[in-house]
Amino acid sequence: MSNDFSHWNTKMLCRAGVVAALYAVVTWLLGSFAFGPFQIRPAEALTVLPLFFPETVPALYIGCLLANVISAYGVYDICLGSLATLLAAFATYCTGALFKNHAIRVVLGGFFPVILNAFIVPAVWLLAGTPDVVYWVSFGEMVLTQSVWIYALGTPLYFAVHKLRQRGVKVFTSPVHMREDGNG
């Protein structure tokens, strides 16, 4: 696990760029709907990708940072919201490295983006001076919306990527996790 970033290649760099851009653009397209208590942020489905690709850890952070530039919550969301994504992506990556069972990987891997965003994002709203924020109510709203995007969209994405890796589709293969499913 400690050497996973030591041998980045062009494919990994391109994949990271595409993931970061997808996260930012999909979020930007939704504008203000992507921010607030009931976030419409389908880009959160991409947070399952660290289960396969270590390069998506910094990619998700950069994508979220860029997406949060248009947030009404300002520097707090840019810094803390993006940090939540970085921490969640790293924890998801570690889950993928530790567990091989697909159900466990999806459930535990998705747990980190749900719970870290649920704890951190309402704090962002409070720091930004948003009126009428009740922390634990907002926590519950974030658990609900994050779970929808991560599990309802992220789970099919996980299995689609897994199937493409099994078929040997080169864009979805990586020498980093050859031990995971035997086809790199």
Residue 184 lies in a domain: no
Q: Which of 33-47, 62-76, 114-128 has the lowest mean pLDDT?
A: 33-47
pLDDT digits (tens, 9 = 90+) for 151-165: 999 999 999 999 999
The DSSP line for the chain is: -TTTTTT--HHHHHHHHHHHHHHHHHHHHHGGGGSSSS---GGGGGGGGGGT-TTHHHHHHHHHHHHGGG-TTHHHIIIIIHHHHHHHHHHHHHHHHH---HHHHHHHHHHHHHHHHHHHHHHHHHHTT-TT--HHHHHHHHHHHHHIIIIIIHHHHHHHHHHHHHTT-GGG--GGGHHHHS--
Structural domains counted in the chain: 1
pLDDT tens per residue across span 61-90:
999 999 999 999 999 999 999 999 999 999
| Enclosing domain of residue 157 | 10-32+44-176
- Average per-residue pLDDT in the chain? 90
In a domain, 70, yes or no: yes
Is 69 inside a domain boundary?
Answer: yes
